[in-house]
């Protein structure tokens, strides 16, 4: 017997007094539960919440496949508690309607009575999550500059959303209070936030919403183990609550604990750096060569264009670094680090450099190699020489306006140094710059030619 009929297909009376659909079969209760009531709204709520968060942070993920994957995974911090709260709300439905006793009189076993309203919400929540992820991938696609879509975490995260909904449903059945759903949501936010910020290190692999750094990839079995870990716990809770033989809950519980033990034992071994993030593509037609990380290979022409003014002026200069490097690790002795294209949202947004002039200035400051010198270790004379080189090769906005820090005396000397370098003959300047770059990376004034 079904307690629910579909308004879209009016039931017709039959001889026995029972009602059935025109096709001859009564619509399955799952169909009505999935198409009507709270389930579609739960999916819409997840989609809107997730979508709202993605829209607010678009600058920092749109255009990078890895960033998009990280953002979609990070969204679990808010989407998972919301899913649990949605399940909890659905779980309290019969209590709110006052139909618990009526349900208890049906011939369906308790587990079926639990799953019929619970599964559609779980499916809609998972669908809402998947649609949001798909929308994010589509939004990223037009702006990507390399790499490939990172989808490894999506199956596990989707399963986690469904598991959270089912677990929330059981909580809703058990806890008879109006505030159960919002309290569960709040507890979820706080719990996941605590695990992220200050939880025990051993719990990190078990946290389904543990943040994943950009460019880190899971081992192939991590998403599936996470799905079994969370899904097993949710199924165990459902079976323990509603199964006729509650001992059957031990089966999913054992599976969950096995998966959890596997995850905990693997620890940091669950993740490895994307090999692509260690590679770079280079334009070797200039000196120094211009390299960008292979994940953003499409930005090489833009970066080369932004640095073309610098490389043109450095033509014929000796002792330069071999390249501006962007291979994810520390630059070697003969390399200068390329200014960071990542994290997205600052220097680069949607595949474009936001401020090429500032980027070029940062690239020139990197050429000096004095970024790691302790504060106060670099003498004033070297700082003035650095300023003159920057002002000549790629002045920033302040240097273009002729503005300098310090008092009148310092201002006069800095402006004089800039003027001397700019006023040198070509050969003289090349020689001076060659001597200047020969002393690169030194924090003291030794070797830096005077201006």
Partner 1 sequence: MTGLLLYARSRALPATLAALAGTAAFAVWAAGRLDAYLDPDRRVPIVALAPLLASAVIGTSLYSASDELDRTAVRRWWPRRLAHLTALTALAALLVTPAVLGHAETFGPPAVLRNTLGCTGLTAAAAVLLGARLSWLPAFGYVTAVYLGSTAAEGRAATIWAWPMQPGAQTGAWATAVAAFVAGATLYAVRGARPEGPRS
Question: Are 212 and 271 within 8 A, CB to CB?
Answer: yes
- What the block records as the tokens of 348 is 């680069």
Q: What's the closest the beta carbon of residue 354 comes to partner 1, in angstroms?
A: 12
Q: What's the closest the beta carbon of residue 36 comes to partner 1, in angstroms?
A: 10
Name the nearest CA neighbour of 168 among 48, 38, 71.
38
Residue 59 interacts with partner 1 (CB under 8 A)?
A: yes
Which of residues 75, 84, 237, 378 is near partner 1 by CB under 8 A? 75
DSSP per position, 296-310: GGGGHHHHHHHTHHH
- Residue 71 or residue 390: which is nearer to partner 1 going by CB? 71
Residue 48 interacts with partner 1 (CB under 8 A)?
A: yes
Residue 128 interacts with partner 1 (CB under 8 A)?
A: no
Which region, judged by CB under 8 A, interacts with partner 1, from 95-103, 270-278, 292-300, 439-447?
95-103
Question: Are 335 and 308 within 8 A, CB to CB?
Answer: no
Which of residues 27, 29, 81, 288 is near partner 1 by CB under 8 A? 81
CA end-to-end span of the chain: 95
- Residue 192 or residue 238: which is nearer to partner 1 going by CB? 192
Which region, judged by CB under 8 A, interacts with partner 1, from 23-31, 181-189, 263-271, 331-339?
181-189
Q: Helix (H, G, I), strand (E, B), or coil: what is residue 129?
A: helix
Question: Are 434 and 403 within 8 A, CB to CB?
Answer: no
Rg (CA), the chain: 31
Residues 183-202 binding partner 1 (CB under 8 A) are 183, 185-186, 189-190, 193
Please tell me the count of residues contacting partner 1 according to CB under 8 A: 35
Q: What is the DSSP letter of 406?
A: S
The CA-CA-CA angle for residues 381, 384, 387, to 5°, reads 155
What's the distance, CA 143 to chain centroid? Answer: 16
Residue 60 interacts with partner 1 (CB under 8 A)?
A: yes
Which of residues 26, 82, 259, 353 is near partner 1 by CB under 8 A? 82
Residue 272 interacts with partner 1 (CB under 8 A)?
A: no
- Tally Cβ neighbours within 10 Å of residue 49: 17
Residue 89 interacts with partner 1 (CB under 8 A)?
A: yes
Residue 181 interacts with partner 1 (CB under 8 A)?
A: yes
Q: Helix (H, G, I), strand (E, B), or coil: what is residue 228?
A: helix
The CA-CA-CA angle for residues 386, 390, 391, to 5°, reads 115
Which region, judged by CB under 8 A, interacts with partner 1, from 7-15, 49-57, 137-145, 229-237?
49-57
Burial of 374: CB neighbours in 10 Å, binned 0-12, 13-18, 19+ = exposed
Which of residues 26, 34, 39, 54 is near partner 1 by CB under 8 A? 54
Binding site for partner 1 (CB under 8 A): 45, 48-50, 52-57, 59-60, 74-75, 77-78, 81-82, 85, 89, 96-99, 178-179, 181-183, 185-186, 189-190, 193, 345
């Amino acid at each position: 017997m079904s307690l629910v009929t579909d308004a879209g297909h009016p039931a017709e009376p039959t001889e026995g007094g029972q009602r059935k659909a025109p096709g001859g079969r009564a619509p399955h209760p799952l169909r009505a539960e999935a198409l009507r009531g709270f389930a579609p709204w739960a999916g819409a709520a997840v989609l809107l919440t997730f979508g709202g968060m993605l829209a607010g942070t678009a600058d920092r993920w749109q255009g990078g496949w890895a960033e998009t994957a990280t953002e979609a995974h990070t969204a679990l911090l808010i989407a998972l508690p919301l899913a649990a709260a949605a399940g909890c709300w659905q779980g309290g439905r019969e209590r709110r309607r006052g139909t618990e006793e009526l349900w208890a009189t049906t011939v369906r076993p308790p587990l079926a009575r639990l799953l019929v309203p619970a599964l559609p919400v779980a499916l809609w929540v998972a669908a809402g999550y998947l649609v949001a992820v798909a929308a994010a991938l589509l939004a990223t696609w037009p702006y990507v500059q390399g790499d490939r879509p990172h989808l490894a975490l999506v199956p596990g995260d989707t399963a986690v959303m469904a598991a959270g909904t089912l677990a929330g449903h059981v909580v809703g059945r058990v806890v008879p209070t109006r505030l159960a759903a919002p309290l569960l949501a709040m507890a979820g936010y706080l719990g996941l936030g605590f695990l992220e910020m200050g939880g025990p290190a051993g719990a990190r692999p078990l946290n389904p919403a543990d943040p994943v750094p950009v460019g880190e990839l899971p081992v192939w079995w991590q998403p599936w183990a996470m799905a079994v870990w969370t899904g097993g716990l949710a199924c165990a809770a459902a079976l323990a609550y509603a199964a006729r033989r509650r001992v059957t809950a031990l089966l999913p519980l054992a599976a969950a604990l096995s998966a959890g033990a596997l995850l905990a034992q693997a620890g940091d071994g669950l993740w490895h750096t994307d090999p692509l993030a260690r590679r770079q593509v280079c334009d070797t037609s200039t000196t120094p060569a211009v390299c960008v990380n292979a994940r953003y290979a499409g930005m090489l022409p833009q970066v080369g264009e932004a640095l073309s003014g610098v490389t043109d002026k450095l033509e014929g200069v000796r002792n330069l670094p071999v390249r501006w490097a962007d291979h994810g690790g520390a630059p070697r002795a003969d390399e200068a680090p390329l200014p960071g294209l990542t994290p997205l949202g600052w220097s680069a947004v949607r595949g474009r450099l936001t401020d090429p002039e500032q980027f070029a200035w940062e690239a020139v400051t990197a050429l000096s190699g004095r970024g790691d010198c302790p504060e106060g270790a670099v003498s004033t004379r070297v700082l003035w020489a650095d300023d003159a080189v920057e002002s000549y090769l790629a002045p920033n906005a302040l240097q273009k306006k002729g503005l300098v820090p310090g008092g009148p005396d310092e201002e006069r000397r800095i402006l004089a140094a800039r003027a001397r370098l700019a006023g040198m003959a070509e050969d003289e300047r090349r020689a001076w710059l060659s001597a200047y770059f020969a002393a690169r990376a030194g924090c003291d004034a030794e070797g830096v030619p005077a201006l």
